Chains A and B, each alone.
Chain A
Amino acid sequence: MSKRSILLVEDNPDDVELTLRALKKNNIANEVIVANDGVEALDYLFGTGAYAGRDVNTIPEVVLLDLKLPKIDGLEVLERLRKDERTKIAPVVILTSSKEEQDLVRSYKLGANSYIRKPVDFTQFSEAVRQLGLYWLVLNEPAP
């Protein structure tokens, strides 16, 4: 059985690079699709735009979603994918800079599965990614 992909929604190229590095360091070998803004993320999930024709029945094993994004922000991406039957059950981990209460509350209200604040210390960040991978890609049994 081939591993399902990880969708990384992140606009900052440095953060993309560091997240990929952390995944690699922790031997997480799933394919990572990078969406640079909310529109790209929705295009991937719903097979539109640049991803027209993609088999949308394959949902990512986990969506790593930043909140502050160009065009369509993370919360709106979350809201839209929770409203759609096809993506309703996709695990979404908010991976962002802030731990402002309003962000946390809104994320959970919109149906986020988990909320991780990216630490500045890369060692801690890498550890967070390791645990995240262990939980969502190994321990967690995804919906069929």
Chain B
Amino acid sequence: MKDDDKTKEQLDELAKLRENEQKYYNLFDNASDAIITIDLEDTITLWNRGAEKLFGWTRHEALGKKLPDLIIPPDLRDERDKIIRDALAGKEITGIETHRLRKDGSRVDVSLTFSPIKDANQNIIGLSGIIRDITEHKQIDKKIKELNEELKQKVVETESVNRELEAFSYSVSHDLRAPLRSIDGFSQALLEDYADKLDLQGMDYLQRVRAASQRMAQLIDDMLMLSRVTRHEMKRSNIDLSALATTIAAEMAKIQQLQRRVDFIIAPGLVVNGDAELLRAMLENLLGNAWKFTSKHQSARIEFGVTQYDGKYVYFVKDDGVGFEMTYADKLFQAFQRLHSVSEFPGTGIGLAIVKRIIHRHGGNIWAESEIGKGATFYFNF
């Protein structure tokens, strides 16, 4: 009876061991990485399904073969011998990146992790290795490197274009204005010194020459201003657009003697992250336009706030001025495009081009809606 009990106990123990072994074998076999064991003669003793999938050799083909004959590229034998020596010497081998061969002769990028197998007396009797396919990882790495290179190249190109633009603007700023000074200055000299030799028409012509040269100077300045927006180095911080709009409105009211009533309705607390100088220029232009295009009305209402547009929050500047035909809406933001003559409303047509460029530099968009005689609304986001 006692003996029977003992045998049953042993059998139970054995069953438990088998169960455990099966559990671990399943883990081993179902692992997505290749798991291989070898003895000290490099003979393959275990070869899981991951290894079959990675190397193309079935378990049947692999077991009992010498490992180097199957998966070690000839040129990497020395490297491999060193790794084995290190592993046998007890050194930790984890995540070593190298190549291995597939059955079809192709190479695969892998990472290796090795550990020694010991018997009951702590003697090393072989090695187990986990071999992970890192092809995808390598490809992603390569792609990242390529993109990085591309980016670096783009930065270099941008820098060179910027330098060229800088040099161009510098030259425009210095050289294009000088002849205009001569044209204007000597026309004025003629008007002053030779007034007795000129009739009214002659004087009128000279006045036109002067007016044209001054207008051209203005156009050059505007062009430079536009290019300055592009060249400007952005310094981001939190900007209170409401406070800024309030300041600008007060400045406009002070400079332009008020012979009409202009109500500014500015929503409080509109804060964005952006460049202080550029955002100020943006609001100056938008509010300045609203001011200008309401100037023929006895009273005007100019609004700055935030609203929903197609389900998204957008900022807006709205006036009740002369407005424009929507047919020309896309022309508004192009440099030197105007929807009114200079005699109707002064300007060169640069303001909204500057505004658009500033908003683009902040990663946003701007568009406008209007109807003749019913004012205009400019919507923008960042």
Q: Tell me the A residues contacting B by CB distance below 8 Å.
A: 12, 14-15, 17-18, 21, 67-68, 96-100, 102, 118-123, 125
Docked pose: A102 CA to B216 CA in angstroms: 23
Residues from chain A with a CB closer than 8 A to the CB of B216 are 120
Contact with A along B155-176 (1 / 0, CB 8 A): 0000000000000011001110
Residues from chain A with a CB closer than 8 A to the CB of B265 are none
6 smallest CB-CB distances across A and B, nearest first, come from: A120-B217, A98-B173, A14-B182, A122-B185, A18-B185, A122-B188
Name the contact of A98 in the complex, choosing from B174, B180, B181, B213 (C-beta under 8 A): B174
B contacts with A: majority SS: helix
| Inter-subunit contact A97/B178 (CB<8 Å) | yes
Q: A75 CB to closest chain B CB, in angstroms?
A: 13
Known: A12-B178, A15-B178, A120-B214. A125 touches B185 (CB 8 A): yes
| Inter-subunit contact B173/A97 (CB<8 Å) | yes
Name the contact of A97 in the complex, choosing from B177, B187, B189, B210 (C-beta under 8 A): B177
Residues from chain B with a CB closer than 8 A to the CB of A67 are 174
Name the contact of B181 in the complex, choosing from A14, A68, A99 (C-beta under 8 A): A14
Docked pose: A58 CA to B177 CA in angstroms: 34
| Inter-subunit contact A98/B170 (CB<8 Å) | yes
Residues from chain B with a CB closer than 8 A to the CB of A118 are 177, 181
Q: A79 CB to closest chain B CB, in angstroms?
A: 19
| Inter-subunit contact A99/B178 (CB<8 Å) | no
Name the contact of B173 in the complex, choosing from A12, A17, A100, A121 (C-beta under 8 A): A100
Docked pose: A59 CA to B221 CA in angstroms: 36
Docked pose: A121 CA to B181 CA in angstroms: 7
| Inter-subunit contact A14/B174 (CB<8 Å) | no
Docked pose: A99 CA to B169 CA in angstroms: 11
Residues from chain B with a CB closer than 8 A to the CB of A68 are 174-175
Docked pose: A122 CA to B206 CA in angstroms: 13
Q: A96-B174, A122-B184, A122-B189 are in contact. List 7 more A-B contacts (CB 8 A).
A: A12-B182, A18-B189, A102-B170, A120-B213, A120-B214, A122-B187, A122-B210
Docked pose: A91 CA to B186 CA in angstroms: 29
Residues from chain A with a CB closer than 8 A to the CB of B173 are 97-100
Name the contact of B189 in the complex, choosing from A21, A98, A99, A102 (C-beta under 8 A): A21
Docked pose: A3 CA to B175 CA in angstroms: 34
A sample of 18 inter-chain contacts (CB < 8 A) reads A14-B178, A14-B185, A17-B185, A21-B189, A68-B175, A97-B174, A98-B174, A98-B177, A102-B170, A118-B177, A119-B181, A119-B217, A120-B180, A122-B181, A122-B185, A122-B210, A123-B188, A125-B181
Residues from chain B with a CB closer than 8 A to the CB of A18 are 181-182, 185-186, 189
Q: Tell me the B residues contacting A by CB distance below 8 Å.
A: 169-170, 173-175, 177-178, 180-182, 184-189, 210, 213-214, 216-217
Known: A120-B213, A120-B217. A100 touches B170 (CB 8 A): yes
| Inter-subunit contact A121/B214 (CB<8 Å) | yes
Docked pose: A21 CA to B189 CA in angstroms: 9
A21 nearest in chain B by CB position: B189
| Inter-subunit contact B184/A121 (CB<8 Å) | yes
Interface centre among A99, A121, A125 (most CB of B within 10 A): A121
Name the contact of B177 in the complex, choosing from A102, A120, A123 (C-beta under 8 A): A120
Interface centre among A18, A99, A102, A118 (most CB of B within 10 A): A18
Q: A125 CB to closest chain B CB, in angstroms?
A: 7
Docked pose: A116 CA to B182 CA in angstroms: 17
Residues from chain A with a CB closer than 8 A to the CB of B178 are 12, 14-15, 97
Interface centre among B175, B182, B187, B217 (most CB of A within 10 A): B182
Q: A124 CB to closest chain B CB, in angstroms?
A: 9
A13 nearest in chain B by CB position: B182
Docked pose: A100 CA to B210 CA in angstroms: 24
Q: A64 CB to closest chain B CB, in angstroms?
A: 15
Residues from chain B with a CB closer than 8 A to the CB of A102 are 170
Residues from chain B with a CB closer than 8 A to the CB of A96 are 174
Q: B195 CB to closest chain A CB, in angstroms?
A: 15
B220 nearest in chain A by CB position: A120
Q: A82 CB to closest chain B CB, in angstroms?
A: 22
Docked pose: A99 CA to B170 CA in angstroms: 9
A118 nearest in chain B by CB position: B181
